[in-house]
Structure 1
């Protein structure tokens, strides 16, 4: 095992784990493979992630967090809540579609990992619905949206738009009618929320 001069960090381990998963797939990728790619002992990896499951959970969370972080900027903007809602839904659809289309092998790997996830997926959904809640609350405060319970409304919007962000629908996202279907659904959601 060649010595490494770079400091071993959790982030470096996660980056390398993603590459190992891309190369070997989730069924064959091991902590030893990750350690070998880093040029360290597998014990060094275990000092950062106590189990293989913890490492897989962390890499899944990191992958999901990229989407949440990209959308957070839209939530924080100080502009019309309706436009922010439209942009947020578009951003979510585009981010998920890119993940599925740009690297199908890694996407398939993450589909396996998210199926194993105990915490990362529910946390991701909670984060996304919290972002939606903030947009809807801003809309209610501005008199743009009507909702007695923005949190419940956000969950309803999230579930209603699931066809355009739930990975189980990924094969449909490349269909010619997907874009028109998405636009029609966003219109329906916005009309339903208007005060």
Structure 2
């Protein structure tokens, strides 16, 4: 019976499982190779170092959120509704990651600390998405902004309490939804064209 070819995607899926089982501190490339039934040299043919593998699995994890948000950006909603939906989708995605699998979320929190460049690229992509929504809103007369990238970063930072993993323990507390709604309403008032 032929075996499935070893691909970067298979390696990343196996790495995620190994991280879930062992945590960031104990997971090794040998563990990943063992889970795939290959030698660790086979894994190194796709990812030259353990750090590169950990960076790639971190990017894959962050990309799941980016893809959800890209669908919102591509949608046909009016810019104000799109911005609200984008912020709500980001909050919900982060809450699910933190609440559905807390051990894996803790592991990825460690990995994102190790892989600052991957995180910086992720944040830049998210701010780029926000910039596109704001640009659409300015062109349609819904929003005002003298400098779209600066405004997009300000929106991202103003809502950080609802997407930065450092705040994850607070996302499931009573009143979190109301606090989110209040911050989004404040942001929307600040952007609205007068």
TM tier, smaller: over 0.9
TM-score, normalization by structure 1: 0.97
Q: 1:18 aligns with which of 12, 16, 19?
A: 16
Quick check: 1:66 aligned with 2:76? no
Long gaps (5+) in structure 2: none
Q: Contact 1:4–1:40 at 8 Å: present in 2 too?
A: no
Q: Deviations over 1:4-35 (max 9, x none)?
A: 71100000000000000000111110000000
Q: How far does residue 176 in structure 1 lie from its aligned partner after superposition?
A: 0.3
Q: Quote the Cα distance in structure 2 between the aligned partners of 1:144 and 1:79.
A: 13
Quick check: 1:133 aligned with 2:131? yes
Q: Which residue is 1:118 aligned to?
A: 116
Structure 1 outlier segments of 4+, above 6 Å: none
Long gaps (5+) in structure 1: none
Q: How far does residue 79 in structure 1 lie from its aligned partner after superposition?
A: 2.4
Q: Contact 1:4–1:38 at 8 Å: present in 2 too?
A: no
Q: 2:163 aligns with which of 162, 165, 170?
A: 165
Q: Which residue is 1:181 aligned to?
A: 179
Q: Which residue is 2:102 aligned to?
A: 104
Range moving further from structure 2, 185-194 or 73-82: 73-82
How many residue pairs are counted as aligned between the two chains? 193
Q: Quote the Cα distance in structure 2 between the aligned partners of 1:56 and 1:144.
A: 42
TM-score, normalization by structure 2: 0.98
Q: Quote the Cα distance in structure 2 between the aligned partners of 1:118 and 1:53.
A: 12
Q: Contact 1:82–1:144 at 8 Å: present in 2 too?
A: yes
Q: Deviations over 1:109-145 (max 9, x none)?
A: 0000001003210011001000000000000000000
Q: Contact 1:26–1:109 at 8 Å: present in 2 too?
A: yes
